Structure 1
Amino acid sequence: MKKLIVATKNQGKVNEFRDMFSKYGIETYSLNDLDTPMPDVEETGTTFEENAQLKAETIADFLQVPVLADDSGLEVDALNKRPGVFSARFAGEEKDDQRNLEKVLDELNGIENREARFVCALALAIPGKETIFERGTCEGRIATKSFGESGFGYDPIFIPKGYEETFAQLPSEEKNQMSHRSRAIQQMETSIQDILT
Protein backbone atom coordinates (compact mmCIF):
# COMPACT_ATOMS: atom_id res chain seq x y z
CA MET A 1 0.00 0.00 0.00
CA LYS A 2 1.18 3.54 -0.71
CA LYS A 3 1.87 5.68 2.35
CA LEU A 4 1.22 9.35 3.08
CA ILE A 5 1.97 11.39 6.20
CA VAL A 6 -0.69 13.87 7.26
CA ALA A 7 0.58 16.65 9.54
CA THR A 8 -2.05 16.47 12.27
CA LYS A 9 -2.55 15.07 15.76
CA ASN A 10 -6.32 15.61 15.65
CA GLN A 11 -7.73 12.07 15.86
CA GLY A 12 -11.05 13.09 14.29
CA LYS A 13 -9.24 14.39 11.22
CA VAL A 14 -6.95 11.34 11.16
CA ASN A 15 -9.95 9.00 11.05
CA GLU A 16 -11.55 10.98 8.22
CA PHE A 17 -8.34 11.06 6.18
CA ARG A 18 -7.87 7.29 6.67
CA ASP A 19 -11.43 6.58 5.50
CA MET A 20 -11.10 8.83 2.48
CA PHE A 21 -7.63 7.77 1.35
CA SER A 22 -8.19 4.02 1.77
CA LYS A 23 -10.26 3.95 -1.45
CA TYR A 24 -7.19 5.21 -3.32
CA GLY A 25 -5.04 2.44 -1.86
CA ILE A 26 -3.19 4.94 0.35
CA GLU A 27 -2.28 4.24 3.97
CA THR A 28 -2.38 7.40 6.09
CA TYR A 29 -0.04 8.13 8.99
CA SER A 30 -0.51 11.00 11.41
CA LEU A 31 2.06 12.72 13.60
CA ASN A 32 0.76 10.52 16.44
CA ASP A 33 2.04 7.45 14.57
CA LEU A 34 5.65 8.64 14.27
CA ASP A 35 8.30 7.76 16.86
CA THR A 36 10.40 10.85 16.13
CA PRO A 37 9.45 14.03 18.04
CA MET A 38 8.14 16.54 15.50
CA PRO A 39 8.77 20.31 15.53
CA ASP A 40 5.87 22.37 16.88
CA VAL A 41 4.26 24.48 14.19
CA GLU A 42 2.61 27.71 15.30
CA GLU A 43 -0.38 28.52 13.12
CA THR A 44 0.38 32.18 12.50
CA GLY A 45 -1.21 32.42 9.04
CA THR A 46 -4.13 34.71 8.30
CA THR A 47 -5.75 32.25 5.85
CA PHE A 48 -6.49 28.53 5.90
CA GLU A 49 -3.98 28.07 3.06
CA GLU A 50 -1.16 29.82 4.93
CA ASN A 51 -1.66 27.66 8.03
CA ALA A 52 -1.83 24.45 5.98
CA GLN A 53 1.37 25.48 4.16
CA LEU A 54 3.22 26.18 7.42
CA LYS A 55 2.38 22.72 8.77
CA ALA A 56 3.03 20.78 5.56
CA GLU A 57 6.34 22.46 4.68
CA THR A 58 7.76 22.34 8.22
CA ILE A 59 7.13 18.60 8.59
CA ALA A 60 8.14 17.79 5.00
CA ASP A 61 11.45 19.66 5.47
CA PHE A 62 12.03 17.86 8.76
CA LEU A 63 11.25 14.34 7.46
CA GLN A 64 12.31 14.86 3.82
CA VAL A 65 9.19 13.10 2.54
CA PRO A 66 5.94 14.39 1.00
CA VAL A 67 3.53 15.62 3.68
CA LEU A 68 -0.12 16.67 3.45
CA ALA A 69 -1.58 19.19 5.89
CA ASP A 70 -4.97 20.76 6.21
CA ASP A 71 -6.32 23.80 7.93
CA SER A 72 -10.05 23.94 8.21
CA GLY A 73 -12.76 25.76 10.03
CA LEU A 74 -16.23 27.21 10.14
CA GLU A 75 -17.29 30.47 8.51
CA VAL A 76 -20.59 31.95 9.73
CA ASP A 77 -21.98 34.72 7.53
CA ALA A 78 -23.74 36.62 10.34
CA LEU A 79 -20.50 36.62 12.37
CA ASN A 80 -18.47 38.20 9.53
CA LYS A 81 -17.06 34.77 8.56
CA ARG A 82 -15.87 34.10 12.11
CA PRO A 83 -14.60 31.87 13.68
CA GLY A 84 -12.65 31.20 10.45
CA VAL A 85 -8.96 30.44 11.00
CA PHE A 86 -9.57 30.72 14.76
CA SER A 87 -12.16 27.90 14.75
CA ALA A 88 -10.14 25.58 17.02
CA ARG A 89 -9.51 28.35 19.58
CA PHE A 90 -12.67 30.43 19.20
CA ALA A 91 -13.51 30.23 22.92
CA GLY A 92 -9.91 30.52 24.13
CA GLU A 93 -6.35 29.29 23.61
CA GLU A 94 -7.14 25.88 25.11
CA LYS A 95 -8.84 23.93 22.32
CA ASP A 96 -12.32 23.02 23.58
CA ASP A 97 -14.87 21.82 21.01
CA GLN A 98 -17.85 22.17 23.34
CA ARG A 99 -17.02 25.71 24.44
CA ASN A 100 -16.32 26.72 20.82
CA LEU A 101 -19.68 25.59 19.50
CA GLU A 102 -21.49 27.06 22.51
CA LYS A 103 -19.87 30.43 21.74
CA VAL A 104 -21.12 30.26 18.13
CA LEU A 105 -24.65 29.42 19.36
CA ASP A 106 -24.53 32.27 21.91
CA GLU A 107 -23.40 34.82 19.32
CA LEU A 108 -26.15 33.70 16.92
CA ASN A 109 -28.86 33.86 19.57
CA GLY A 110 -31.84 35.72 18.07
CA ILE A 111 -30.22 36.01 14.62
CA GLU A 112 -32.24 34.62 11.69
CA ASN A 113 -29.43 34.35 9.15
CA ARG A 114 -27.64 31.15 10.11
CA GLU A 115 -25.91 30.50 6.78
CA ALA A 116 -22.44 29.01 7.20
CA ARG A 117 -19.87 26.78 5.56
CA PHE A 118 -17.05 24.49 6.48
CA VAL A 119 -13.79 25.27 4.65
CA CYS A 120 -10.79 22.98 4.20
CA ALA A 121 -7.50 24.08 2.64
CA LEU A 122 -5.02 21.30 1.82
CA ALA A 123 -1.31 21.83 1.24
CA LEU A 124 0.84 19.04 -0.21
CA ALA A 125 4.51 19.77 0.46
CA ILE A 126 7.12 17.83 -1.48
CA PRO A 127 10.79 18.46 -0.60
CA GLY A 128 12.48 20.42 -3.39
CA LYS A 129 9.20 21.20 -5.19
CA GLU A 130 6.52 23.85 -5.04
CA THR A 131 3.70 23.20 -2.55
CA ILE A 132 0.35 22.25 -4.11
CA PHE A 133 -2.91 23.71 -2.72
CA GLU A 134 -6.57 22.74 -3.01
CA ARG A 135 -9.67 24.00 -1.22
CA GLY A 136 -13.02 22.36 -0.49
CA THR A 137 -16.17 23.86 1.02
CA CYS A 138 -19.47 22.52 2.30
CA GLU A 139 -22.37 24.97 2.52
CA GLY A 140 -25.01 24.73 5.22
CA ARG A 141 -26.49 26.44 8.24
CA ILE A 142 -26.08 26.52 12.01
CA ALA A 143 -28.65 24.66 14.12
CA THR A 144 -30.27 26.31 17.16
CA LYS A 145 -28.64 23.75 19.49
CA SER A 146 -26.37 20.68 19.38
CA PHE A 147 -27.65 17.45 17.83
CA GLY A 148 -25.90 14.10 17.45
CA GLU A 149 -22.98 12.24 18.97
CA SER A 150 -20.71 11.55 15.97
CA GLY A 151 -17.97 13.63 14.42
CA PHE A 152 -15.98 16.33 16.18
CA GLY A 153 -15.55 20.08 16.36
CA TYR A 154 -18.61 21.98 15.15
CA ASP A 155 -20.28 18.90 13.61
CA PRO A 156 -23.15 18.86 16.17
CA ILE A 157 -24.37 22.33 15.11
CA PHE A 158 -23.68 22.24 11.34
CA ILE A 159 -26.53 21.19 9.04
CA PRO A 160 -25.29 20.64 5.45
CA LYS A 161 -27.37 22.08 2.61
CA GLY A 162 -30.20 19.78 1.57
CA TYR A 163 -30.32 18.02 4.95
CA GLU A 164 -32.23 18.40 8.22
CA GLU A 165 -29.61 16.51 10.30
CA THR A 166 -26.29 17.85 11.55
CA PHE A 167 -22.96 16.31 10.55
CA ALA A 168 -22.91 14.68 14.01
CA GLN A 169 -26.19 12.87 13.25
CA LEU A 170 -25.14 11.50 9.87
CA PRO A 171 -23.22 8.23 9.37
CA SER A 172 -19.51 8.98 8.85
CA GLU A 173 -19.60 7.45 5.34
CA GLU A 174 -22.35 9.87 4.32
CA LYS A 175 -20.63 12.88 5.89
CA ASN A 176 -17.33 11.94 4.26
CA GLN A 177 -18.90 11.94 0.80
CA MET A 178 -19.88 15.61 0.99
CA SER A 179 -17.62 17.20 3.58
CA HIS A 180 -15.29 20.12 2.90
CA ARG A 181 -12.35 17.77 3.55
CA SER A 182 -13.52 15.14 1.06
CA ARG A 183 -14.08 17.81 -1.60
CA ALA A 184 -10.56 19.17 -1.09
CA ILE A 185 -9.13 15.63 -1.27
CA GLN A 186 -11.00 14.98 -4.53
CA GLN A 187 -9.38 18.12 -5.96
CA MET A 188 -5.98 16.93 -4.72
CA GLU A 189 -6.41 13.32 -5.90
CA THR A 190 -4.34 13.52 -9.09
CA SER A 191 -1.40 15.26 -7.38
CA ILE A 192 -1.34 12.71 -4.56
CA GLN A 193 -1.54 9.77 -6.97
CA ASP A 194 1.31 11.27 -9.03
CA ILE A 195 3.72 11.69 -6.11
CA LEU A 196 2.96 8.28 -4.60
CA THR A 197 3.40 6.20 -7.77
Structure 2
Amino acid sequence: MFTLLLASHNQDKAKELKALLSGMNIQLLTLNDFPNIVPTIEDQDTISANAMKKAFEASLKTGLVSLADDTGLFIKALNDKPGVYSARFAGEHCSYKDNRMKVLKLMEGITNRYAEFRTCVALSAPDGIISFKIGILEGNITTEERGTNGFGYDSIFMPLSFNKTYAEMTDTEKNSISHRAKAIEAIIPIIKELIESSKGGLQ
Protein backbone atom coordinates (compact mmCIF):
# COMPACT_ATOMS: atom_id res chain seq x y z
CA MET A 1 0.00 0.00 0.00
CA PHE A 2 1.21 3.48 -0.90
CA THR A 3 1.60 5.79 2.10
CA LEU A 4 0.72 9.43 1.53
CA LEU A 5 1.12 12.12 4.17
CA LEU A 6 -1.33 15.00 4.29
CA ALA A 7 0.83 17.77 5.72
CA SER A 8 -1.90 19.16 7.94
CA HIS A 9 -3.48 18.68 11.36
CA ASN A 10 -6.87 19.72 9.99
CA GLN A 11 -9.29 16.80 10.24
CA ASP A 12 -11.83 18.56 8.02
CA LYS A 13 -9.28 18.55 5.20
CA ALA A 14 -8.37 14.92 5.92
CA LYS A 15 -12.01 13.87 5.69
CA GLU A 16 -12.42 15.69 2.38
CA LEU A 17 -9.20 14.24 0.96
CA LYS A 18 -10.12 10.69 1.96
CA ALA A 19 -13.36 11.03 0.04
CA LEU A 20 -11.55 12.30 -3.05
CA LEU A 21 -8.97 9.49 -2.89
CA SER A 22 -11.47 6.72 -2.18
CA GLY A 23 -10.88 3.58 -4.20
CA MET A 24 -7.14 4.13 -4.42
CA ASN A 25 -4.67 1.84 -2.61
CA ILE A 26 -3.48 4.59 -0.27
CA GLN A 27 -2.82 4.79 3.44
CA LEU A 28 -3.43 8.42 4.32
CA LEU A 29 -1.59 9.83 7.31
CA THR A 30 -1.73 13.35 8.72
CA LEU A 31 0.59 15.40 10.89
CA ASN A 32 -1.46 14.20 13.85
CA ASP A 33 0.41 10.91 13.36
CA PHE A 34 3.69 12.77 13.88
CA PRO A 35 3.19 14.81 17.07
CA ASN A 36 6.86 15.76 17.35
CA ILE A 37 6.95 17.63 14.04
CA VAL A 38 6.84 21.39 14.43
CA PRO A 39 4.26 22.96 12.06
CA THR A 40 5.61 24.84 9.04
CA ILE A 41 5.58 28.61 9.33
CA GLU A 42 3.34 29.85 6.52
CA ASP A 43 5.24 33.04 5.74
CA GLN A 44 5.19 33.02 1.95
CA ASP A 45 3.57 35.67 -0.25
CA THR A 46 1.33 33.30 -2.24
CA ILE A 47 -0.80 30.25 -1.53
CA SER A 48 1.31 28.27 -4.02
CA ALA A 49 4.54 29.03 -2.19
CA ASN A 50 2.96 28.17 1.17
CA ALA A 51 1.64 24.84 -0.14
CA MET A 52 5.02 23.89 -1.59
CA LYS A 53 6.85 24.86 1.59
CA LYS A 54 4.50 22.78 3.75
CA ALA A 55 4.69 19.74 1.47
CA PHE A 56 8.47 19.81 1.17
CA GLU A 57 9.17 20.31 4.88
CA ALA A 58 6.78 17.51 5.88
CA SER A 59 8.33 15.15 3.35
CA LEU A 60 11.85 16.03 4.44
CA LYS A 61 11.03 15.39 8.10
CA THR A 62 9.14 12.10 7.60
CA GLY A 63 10.66 10.60 4.46
CA LEU A 64 7.15 10.20 3.03
CA VAL A 65 5.63 11.61 -0.12
CA SER A 66 3.61 14.52 1.22
CA LEU A 67 0.62 16.45 -0.03
CA ALA A 68 -0.10 19.96 1.25
CA ASP A 69 -2.52 22.63 0.27
CA ASP A 70 -3.09 26.27 0.93
CA THR A 71 -6.41 27.92 0.27
CA GLY A 72 -7.39 31.54 0.05
CA LEU A 73 -10.61 33.49 -0.38
CA PHE A 74 -10.05 36.31 -2.86
CA ILE A 75 -12.77 38.98 -2.76
CA LYS A 76 -12.75 41.41 -5.68
CA ALA A 77 -14.22 44.38 -3.79
CA LEU A 78 -11.57 43.98 -1.09
CA ASN A 79 -8.68 44.00 -3.59
CA ASP A 80 -8.41 40.21 -3.39
CA LYS A 81 -8.25 40.13 0.39
CA PRO A 82 -8.09 38.10 2.58
CA GLY A 83 -6.14 36.02 0.04
CA VAL A 84 -3.05 34.34 1.43
CA TYR A 85 -4.04 35.59 4.91
CA SER A 86 -7.47 33.91 4.85
CA ALA A 87 -6.82 31.59 7.80
CA ARG A 88 -5.77 34.46 10.08
CA PHE A 89 -7.68 37.38 8.55
CA ALA A 90 -9.15 38.42 11.92
CA GLY A 91 -5.81 38.03 13.69
CA GLU A 92 -3.57 35.31 15.06
CA HIS A 93 -5.42 32.47 16.82
CA CYS A 94 -8.76 33.73 15.49
CA SER A 95 -11.67 31.36 14.87
CA TYR A 96 -13.42 30.54 11.62
CA LYS A 97 -16.33 32.66 12.80
CA ASP A 98 -14.08 35.63 13.60
CA ASN A 99 -12.88 35.60 10.00
CA ARG A 100 -16.39 35.36 8.59
CA MET A 101 -17.66 38.20 10.73
CA LYS A 102 -14.79 40.44 9.62
CA VAL A 103 -15.56 39.75 5.97
CA LEU A 104 -19.28 40.43 6.40
CA LYS A 105 -18.51 43.68 8.23
CA LEU A 106 -16.13 44.87 5.50
CA MET A 107 -18.65 43.95 2.80
CA GLU A 108 -21.55 45.90 4.30
CA GLY A 109 -23.17 48.08 1.63
CA ILE A 110 -21.04 46.66 -1.20
CA THR A 111 -23.01 45.41 -4.21
CA ASN A 112 -20.19 43.71 -6.12
CA ARG A 113 -19.77 40.60 -3.99
CA TYR A 114 -17.79 38.43 -6.45
CA ALA A 115 -15.17 36.20 -4.87
CA GLU A 116 -13.02 33.18 -5.67
CA PHE A 117 -11.84 30.31 -3.54
CA ARG A 118 -8.41 29.24 -4.78
CA THR A 119 -6.53 26.16 -3.62
CA CYS A 120 -3.00 25.17 -4.48
CA VAL A 121 -2.12 21.53 -3.86
CA ALA A 122 1.56 20.60 -3.80
CA LEU A 123 3.11 17.14 -3.87
CA SER A 124 6.64 16.64 -2.61
CA ALA A 125 9.21 13.93 -2.01
CA PRO A 126 12.16 14.38 0.35
CA ASP A 127 14.36 15.44 -2.56
CA GLY A 128 12.03 18.16 -3.79
CA ILE A 129 8.67 19.26 -5.17
CA ILE A 130 7.09 16.79 -7.58
CA SER A 131 4.20 18.93 -8.80
CA PHE A 132 1.59 21.50 -7.83
CA LYS A 133 -1.88 22.28 -9.17
CA ILE A 134 -4.39 25.09 -8.62
CA GLY A 135 -8.19 24.84 -8.43
CA ILE A 136 -10.61 27.79 -8.52
CA LEU A 137 -14.26 28.07 -7.48
CA GLU A 138 -16.14 31.25 -8.39
CA GLY A 139 -18.96 32.67 -6.32
CA ASN A 140 -20.33 35.55 -4.30
CA ILE A 141 -20.21 36.58 -0.67
CA THR A 142 -23.60 36.43 1.03
CA THR A 143 -24.89 39.08 3.43
CA GLU A 144 -25.28 36.62 6.30
CA GLU A 145 -24.21 33.16 7.38
CA ARG A 146 -26.19 30.26 5.98
CA GLY A 147 -25.68 26.54 6.59
CA THR A 148 -23.68 24.41 9.01
CA ASN A 149 -22.04 21.74 6.83
CA GLY A 150 -18.65 23.26 6.37
CA PHE A 151 -15.77 25.19 7.84
CA GLY A 152 -13.78 28.31 7.10
CA TYR A 153 -15.77 30.73 4.96
CA ASP A 154 -18.21 28.10 3.62
CA SER A 155 -21.31 29.62 5.23
CA ILE A 156 -20.86 33.02 3.56
CA PHE A 157 -19.77 31.82 0.10
CA MET A 158 -22.36 31.01 -2.57
CA PRO A 159 -20.90 29.32 -5.69
CA LEU A 160 -22.02 30.73 -9.04
CA SER A 161 -25.13 29.07 -10.51
CA PHE A 162 -26.25 27.89 -7.06
CA ASN A 163 -28.85 29.36 -4.73
CA LYS A 164 -27.27 27.96 -1.59
CA THR A 165 -24.02 28.49 0.23
CA TYR A 166 -21.17 26.05 0.34
CA ALA A 167 -22.18 25.19 3.92
CA GLU A 168 -25.72 24.30 2.80
CA MET A 169 -24.44 21.69 0.35
CA THR A 170 -23.89 18.01 1.03
CA ASP A 171 -20.33 16.69 1.06
CA THR A 172 -21.02 15.05 -2.32
CA GLU A 173 -22.21 18.32 -3.83
CA LYS A 174 -19.22 20.20 -2.44
CA ASN A 175 -16.68 17.65 -3.64
CA SER A 176 -18.15 17.77 -7.15
CA ILE A 177 -17.36 21.48 -7.57
CA SER A 178 -14.83 22.43 -4.90
CA HIS A 179 -11.63 24.32 -5.53
CA ARG A 180 -9.73 21.76 -3.46
CA ALA A 181 -11.31 18.89 -5.38
CA LYS A 182 -10.33 20.49 -8.69
CA ALA A 183 -6.73 20.88 -7.56
CA ILE A 184 -6.55 17.37 -6.12
CA GLU A 185 -8.17 15.85 -9.21
CA ALA A 186 -5.52 17.56 -11.31
CA ILE A 187 -2.73 16.03 -9.22
CA ILE A 188 -4.26 12.54 -8.82
CA PRO A 189 -2.78 11.27 -12.12
CA ILE A 190 0.67 12.10 -10.73
CA ILE A 191 -0.12 10.27 -7.47
CA LYS A 192 -1.22 7.26 -9.52
CA GLU A 193 2.08 7.33 -11.40
CA LEU A 194 3.92 7.31 -8.06
CA ILE A 195 1.86 4.33 -6.87
CA GLU A 196 2.70 2.42 -10.06
CA SER A 197 6.39 3.21 -9.86
CA SER A 198 6.58 2.36 -6.16
CA LYS A 199 5.59 -1.30 -6.82
CA GLY A 200 3.94 -1.82 -3.47
CA GLY A 201 4.67 1.36 -1.56
CA LEU A 202 7.15 4.19 -1.55
CA GLN A 203 8.34 4.96 1.93
For the criterion TM > 0.5, the same-fold answer is yes
User: Structure 1 residue runs of 4+, over 6 Å off?
Assistant: none
Q: 1:4 to 1:95 in 2, by over 3 A?
A: farther
Taking the aligned partners of 1:66 and 1:45, their CA distance within structure 2 comes to: 22
Partner SS for 1:168: helix
Number of positions where the alignment pairs a residue of Structure 1 with one of Structure 2? 196
Taking the aligned partners of 1:138 and 1:72, their CA distance within structure 2 comes to: 11
Counterpart of 2:17 in structure 1 is 17
Taking the aligned partners of 2:166 and 2:3, their CA distance within structure 1 comes to: 28
2:38 corresponds to which letter in structure 1? P
Q: Is there any run of 5+ residues in structure 1 with no aligned partner, and where?
A: none
Matched, 1:153 2:152: yes
Counterpart of 1:110 in structure 2 is 109
Cα-to-partner distance string for 1:6-50 (whole Å, 9 max, x where unaligned): 001112111111111114343322111x14511221001000011
Partner SS for 1:52: helix
Taking the aligned partners of 2:75 and 2:147, their CA distance within structure 1 comes to: 20
Q: 1:95 to 1:7 in 2, by over 3 A?
A: farther
Counterpart of 1:39 in structure 2 is 38
2:186 corresponds to which letter in structure 1? Q
Partner SS for 1:22: coil
Instruction: Judge conservation of contact 2:51–2:121 (CA < 8 Å) in 1.
Output: yes
Q: Which has the higher contact order (CA 8 A, sep 6+)?
A: 2
Instruction: Judge conservation of contact 1:3–1:196 (CA < 8 Å) in 2.
Output: no
Instruction: Judge conservation of contact 1:53–1:131 (CA < 8 Å) in 2.
Output: no
Identity %: 38
RMSD (CA atoms): 1.2
Taking the aligned partners of 1:4 and 1:71, their CA distance within structure 2 comes to: 17
TM-score of the aligned structures, taking structure 2 as reference length: 0.92
